[in-house]
A and B are shown apart, each in its own frame.
Chain A
């Protein structure tokens, strides 16, 4: 029968397509590994051989590139800045978005629908829409604090502030979805046991929502860790800048010295810890990132 013949050809076609895709995926994996190795190789080459001989092994092994990169780039201080900024911001994001999402998902009356929509709208607004006001607020806020309140101000606080509000729509949105997906029986049982609503929220519902909370936290850490523009616009002092911006500055300073091996050493210094963390926690990051979304 022609029908089954067609089916067989389709099947054979399907099978080979799948083999092809798998080969492609493995090639992609291979490329990623090769890319990491290539960057590492470049970091111990001389500037000359990076350009003249991009494929070959180093003619001299320039281990001192790392010393140069470390001492001239300020990457150490920038790492600390990044870690503190991201940790504080994500802690604040979670502290604000978990209660709000719970309130909207579980406690709200008629207003909770519009409130959820109101937050969701924020997701479609790129930060560029208020980049200009953001810069103005940053200046105004620091002048105000310096002149009237504390006498000093750190622009990193302003950055953290904007990190928090920019991450709120997405975080609240995903968490509302997650809280709504949880069964209400436990909540009811807890209430019948005499727990206050807050205790129910804090001791029953938050632990239940852990997968969703992890997802939101991981995604926020990843996106804030790689954020560049806001720091570029709001933080003038290099000593206060984050890892990405430090790398960018280091890149532009290379013009003066042409130490391209040193630049790649800088890239390795930035990237390798991320890869190490990823090798360690990779599965958990990948799982954590997705398990709470789409609920």
Chain B
């Protein structure tokens, strides 16, 4: 296993993936022009045209061009963008800069798609007396870094937490349940009153895994899942067992909506937004995703999942979206100028107001629903990446061992004992 992770890191560089052999107006390989106005910067975005992010960035680009005369040719490639970028850059046809996210840092780095970003982070933001580095919270800077330094310039931050209806629990924001057990009691009361308290789209396996991962974070801390992926012996750890048994008893309590393992995504989250259920453990993006469906009476808010032991507060899961810079781009300075321009408060504020996400800057306020989580992020001392980053470093284990077993555990078809035994055996088998 260990070996294959290393191999993965090295070779993901030149993956032939959904191979890109195309010449889509290559930014980096075109001839260099001394006049920056002559050659536009090429930007590959992953947003669909018409999404708030796409519109916001188009505005930023328009302002930037008006002010500097440098054109930016943006291509909204949709989700395919992240799959194509490595090959494009490896073959010298990549854009000057592109959308990326934390969970791609390892593979993009290995592919040579991310360069040294220290100069960019020292760039002064126009009209402000600060650099990009200075306006970002420490926890976010930590999350977007690897052993080679910063990976990309983040504009949005997200986390995972417990969404609830503040109309039902107005005091949760100030006095949330102290422990996971307390939360179970609260939810159990709702169930006794004839209402299924928790919504879960069980056909999305990574959403199922939020539960176990957040519990693991709480008992075993960041990195525990990664150890489960790499070392069969880790499955015997008492803190791992603790998290798994907590989840087992939680599943047995029957708190999810009926047939939760069979929903057509996003049925469950829509039902939650419509007020049929109170809770949903999900990413901070859930609020914006379901905004158009939400019932008037529902006040969607998010807090961190209550820890298993009250004394031990868990690490905050941090994800981030942002802009990576093609190290082969011939227009490094122009890209740096653009990123500093885009990081102005007036634009990053709009990540909250337009896109309903948490802005990366410490001084940009999050949407009301997310303020509690934003506060956790600002003050966090320990951070974890989503699923400890195993989705990228050990995808085979994550997809073929962990997620299927976790589905069975959360679906109630196997118990904690079987889960741990199978997990250990299959991890060992994979590592052979």
Contacts and interface: CB of A to CB of B under 8 A. Distances in A.
Contacts of A235: 22
A87 interface: no
A9 interface: no
Among A140, A153, A232, A255, the one with the most B-chain Cβ atoms within 10 Å of its Cβ is: A255
Contact of B18 (A158, A232, A239, A252): A232
A48 B293 contact: yes
B431 to A, nearest CB: 25
B290 A238 contact: no
A155 B88 CA distance: 13
Contact of A142 (B22, B47, B267): B22
B162 interface: no
B12 interface: no
Contacts of A154: 22
B233 interface: no
Interface stretch (A195-203, A217-225, A256-264, A276-284): A256-264
A153 B24 CA distance: 9
Contacts of A135: 16, 18-19
Contacts of A47: 270, 292-293
B18 A155 contact: no
Contacts of B87: 139, 236
Interface in B1-43: 16, 18-24
Given A47-B293, A249-B79, A258-B293, A233 B19 contact: yes
Residues of B in contact with A, size category:
35 or more
A191 B92 CA distance: 58
Interface in B347-396: none
Given A48-B293, A258-B293, A72 B21 contact: no
Interface string B287-303: 00111110000000000
B91 A139 contact: yes
Chain B binding surface, main DSSP class: loop
B91 A143 contact: yes
Contacts of A205: none
Nearest to A255: B289
A158 B264 CA distance: 36
Interface in A185-233: 232-233
B23 A142 contact: yes
Interface string B149-190: 000000000000000000000000000000000000000000
Nearest to B49: A72
B79 A252 contact: yes
Contacts of A143: 21, 91
A85 to B, nearest CB: 15
A72 B22 contact: no
B413 interface: no
A132 B211 CA distance: 37
Given A249-B79, A249-B80, A255-B289, A138 B51 contact: no
A154 B48 CA distance: 22
Contacts of B110: none
B293 A236 contact: no
A153 B23 CA distance: 6
Contact of A152 (B23, B79, B271): B23
Interface of B: 16, 18-24, 47-51, 75-80, 83-84, 87-88, 91, 93, 264, 266-267, 270-271, 274, 285, 289-293
Given A71-B49, A238-B78, 7 more contacts: A47-B293, A154-B22, A236-B80, A237-B84, A250-B48, A256-B51, A258-B293
18 contacts: A47-B270, A48-B293, A51-B270, A52-B270, A52-B271, A135-B19, A138-B19, A139-B16, A143-B91, A154-B22, A236-B22, A237-B22, A237-B84, A252-B79, A253-B51, A256-B47, A257-B48, A258-B266
Interface of A: 47-48, 51-52, 68, 71-72, 74, 135-136, 138-143, 146, 152-155, 158, 232-240, 249-250, 252-253, 255-259
